[in-house]
Structure 1
Amino acid sequence: MSTSIIAQCVVMSPRKRPLLPVSSRRKAVDDYFPFNLLPVECQLHVLSFLNEVDKCNCALVCLSWSCLVRSWKLWRVADYSRRGVFHLGQEGLLVSNREFERWKSWVHHYTHHLISRRASLLTLKASFDLGDRCHKWSELLSHLLDNVHCRDLSHLDLNWTFTLLEPLDLRVHSSSSSHQDSITKMDQVNSFQELLTKLTHNCPRISKMRLHFDWSDESVSLLTQFQQLRVLELKYFWVFKGVTPSTLQTLTKSLPNLKSLTLHILVPLRNLGISYTLESKSIEFLDVSPSRGLVFSCLNLPALRELRAKKIVRGITLDRRTRLRIQSRWPCLYHVLREGTPKLQTLNNERLLPSWRGQMYGEMSAILDQSCYCVQHLDSWLW
């Protein structure tokens, strides 16, 4: 019996894998892509689409790729605002000391990496409290700018008022007195002005800038030296710091190539009632919707095509007599636009009719109800 079973096993043929047609078989040479035979510029162009982590991983593939990745042409962005492996979902987050030290170590390694690659920066994004004397973030950014090629830097996105991450015990033991706050603010402003001075010398070609601004005469003077600016967004620094009308007018008149301007200005209560004049031959887009209490008495913007303005209630209660006394100083926004913006086409994302200058119509009146502070468009005791 056992002999017959063995015989059957010997006779049975093993199961065979189906053979592919000869035409569909891939040769080993077909799996080889001669990337290294491409011109170096083409190889760099392909690698430029990778993120920073993948670029570093490419350096481990082979010696030739390692040499490619060291090229300054692949390192055009310094982005300290990204969180890499941390995946934190908030800005200005308080973290443990251990987590903060990990992030701080990454910041310093990242800076060293950019310097060793001799990066040629086009973009710089960062969020550091420049008044922090302990961690010396201001010195770190200054060191970076002194040791990379940044003459062609065109985009600056800088928050110099707080650090992206802070250790938890730093806030627990910190003083919250108004005197200490004032000292901290001055440290921040001084360090910001030092950095801005360095930027004027090292990065004269910046065309797009987004940063917090203190509106001091010194800062305005430094900012006006960036004559290539085309896009500018100035955010709040200290809500108790007012902006004089002459300061705002000086800034816009001194930037001849400025096309887009976004302003975050909060007019202090003590200055309630003042109005502003804005003058520029180049501005085509103006967004003052993040501002509060910003009223224009005159606009001289011959190139303006789009305006965004929003009336934001701050919860101030005024009696009728006081309110009318303040509002009597302000012209209606419609008249300001009609006289000073001959090319205006869009107001608060709404396309205006070609005949809007001749006569106000219903839709435009509704827009003005949301953006104008005059007596006609704001009749409320709550401001």
Structure 2
Amino acid sequence: METKQRGATGKKKVLLKPKSLKYLRRKSQQNYHQDDGSQCYYGTDEEDYVYRSVHRYSATNFPLFSNMSDDEVIKKTKSKQFSNGQLQIQVKNEEDQTQDEFPFQTLPYELKMKVFTYLSHVDKGVSMRVCREWKDLMTKPVLWSTVMLCDFPMTCMPSKHHLQPSNCYLCYNERVHMFARYLQILKPSIKYLDFKFDIGEPDDNYLEILQNFLSQGNLQSLVHFNFNWKETPTRPFWSDWTNCNDIVFRQRYRGRLFVYFFDEFTKVATKITTLLLPFDWSDRSVLCLARLQNLHTLVIEKYFVFQEMKQELLDKLMEGLPNLKRLMFEVWSPSGPGLIPFTISSKSLEFLDISQSRGFYLKALDIPNMTRFRVARRPWNGPLVCADRISLPCLYNTLLVGAPNLRKLNDHYLEEDWKKNVYSTLEEVLKVVCSCRRHKTGWAM
């Protein structure tokens, strides 16, 4: 709707109130409207400008992509006018009149896709039912470059009526597989993948999802992979195992599945830079992991209790990852009177975290570029042994020789002269984390 008023100069001004895009498209059939020397264009180019200018949000000052507050956006929109004398637009906001609806449909295609990337998978599915345009946008493969397979609520489908609570998980499993089949139709290039499912459960068939992604080439551009393959956190706990032998058999069977899949996976997904996974520390797995030459962040969790890790495997891993910057690993190594401390050597490593490990102690370090180090004194994995029977190197001496550029130990920022003398605060930290005879006060290891 348009109204005319005479200004101070006597010329008529055209006041435009916010209208829908449908109204402006009808008006675009006219080339222009001329009245007393004041022209108001409704053509294709001017149509977009008029519609954006009279609304609070526009493609250039949308608060999600700017640092302006809502008040600043409103003030900027009010003061924006043409200075060429052909078109003057004034936005009049009555005190009792609210702004029109958010003109999301006027945003460029790129901004619409950027907004949709912030939605979860469930929200994207709901958004597909808004209109035909949104449904078409949701089928673009670029929106599914981030895949959170476990991002589904543990609720039943509306069409399901379960008498037993255990059937709710079956409904959840069906929903995950339906989503995976939908992704196989879209064929997106996945860059971020979050997988938290037990690949050893034969009835769940979660490993089949990854194998299909791998065979169809969806993982060639993968850069971030959170691969928790040993358990399904959303699975209710019910156990049909009868004895410990069944548990050990399940663990070994799951480990073999991981080794076979990881071998094929590392041949394809060579662009990975961040990897989080439980690790079995087998010879084959270490060789497969060393194929990821672009890896700069690695988080290794324990797979099974009392899992042996050999020094030569650790050396192969560090030598095979020349670009590794951040390493966090959890190892529950069996220990006893014959404890052998480990050595870590890396020219590229800047951050090392072994605070979650048990039975893992350092004998020497050769990490000249390391600036941050986290460590904790965990309970001993194995029989109780008197501390005087074990002779472990002091952590301070190990860091002094092997990490000369260290700046932070746990949450403590080291002083500049920490390599010259052990000041009181550093001594207190060492009493908590170091296991040498000087800092360990207990009788048992």
Structure 2: which 5+ residue stretches go unaligned?
A: 6-13, 21-54, 56-99, 157-163
User: Which residue does the alignment assign to 1:147?
Assistant: 216
3-state SS, counterpart of residue 262 of structure 1: strand
C-alpha distance in 1 between matches for 2:343 and 2:409: 18
Tell me the amino acid that sits aligned with residue 378 of structure 1.
Answer: K
- RMSD across aligned C-alpha pairs, in angstroms? 2.6
Report if the CA contact (8 A) 1:241-1:268 is conserved.
yes
Q: Deviations over 1:256-306 (max 9, x none)?
A: 111111111112134752100101111111111111121111100011000
Report if the CA contact (8 A) 2:213-2:219 is conserved.
no
Is 1:123 aligned to 2:189, yes or no? no
Shift of 1:33: 6.3
In the alignment of these two chains, the number of paired residues is 348
Shift of 1:58: 2.7
User: Which residue does the alignment assign to 1:19?
Assistant: none
Greater relative contact order (Cα 8 A, min sep 6): structure 1 or 2? 1
Is 1:174 aligned to 2:241, yes or no? yes
> Which one has the bigger helix percentage?
1
Q: 1:252 to 1:324 in 2, by over 3 A?
A: same
The sequence identity of aligned pairs, in percent, is 28
Q: 1:52 to 1:319 in 2, by over 3 A?
A: closer
Q: 1:162 aligns with which of 220, 227, 231?
A: 231
Tell me the amino acid that sits aligned with residue 177 of structure 1.
Answer: C
Q: 2:142 aligns with which of 49, 52, 73?
A: 73
C-alpha distance in 1 between matches for 2:409 and 2:322: 23
Q: Deviations over 1:81-124 (max 9, x none)?
A: 3233539xxxxxxx933111111111111101221222221111
Alignment TM-score, normalising by the size of structure 1: 0.83
Q: 1:303 to 1:324 in 2, by over 3 A?
A: same
User: Which residue does the alignment assign to 2:322?
Assistant: 256
Is 1:324 aligned to 2:324, yes or no? no
C-alpha distance in 2 between matches for 1:307 and 1:228: 22
Shift of 1:318: 4.5
C-alpha distance in 2 between matches for 1:54 and 1:137: 23
Q: 1:319 to 1:342 in 2, by over 3 A?
A: closer
User: Which residue does the alignment assign to 2:418?
Assistant: 356
User: Which residue does the alignment assign to 1:43?
Assistant: 112
Is 1:105 aligned to 2:174, yes or no? yes
Report if the CA contact (8 A) 1:317-1:381 is conserved.
no
Q: 2:374 aligns with which of 301, 308, 311?
A: 308
User: Which residue does the alignment assign to 1:345?
Assistant: 407
Structure 1: which 5+ residue stretches go unaligned?
A: 1-21, 88-94
Report if the CA contact (8 A) 1:245-1:275 is conserved.
no
User: Which residue does the alignment assign to 1:90?
Assistant: none
Shift of 1:150: 2.1
Q: 1:272 to 1:310 in 2, by over 3 A?
A: farther
Report if the CA contact (8 A) 2:335-2:380 is conserved.
no
Report if the CA contact (8 A) 2:278-2:303 is conserved.
yes
Comparing 158-167 and 334-343, the one that deviates more: 158-167
C-alpha distance in 2 between matches for 1:319 and 1:237: 26
Tell me the amino acid that sits aligned with residue 293 of structure 1.
Answer: G
Is 1:371 aligned to 2:426, yes or no? no
Shift of 1:359: 1.2
Q: Deviations over 1:198-257 (max 9, x none)?
A: 321231111111111110111111111111111111111111221112211221221111
Q: 1:167 to 1:114 in 2, by over 3 A?
A: same
3-state SS, counterpart of residue 376 of structure 1: coil
C-alpha distance in 2 between matches for 1:317 and 1:49: 51
Q: 1:292 aligns with which of 347, 358, 361?
A: 358
Alignment TM-score, normalising by the size of structure 2: 0.72
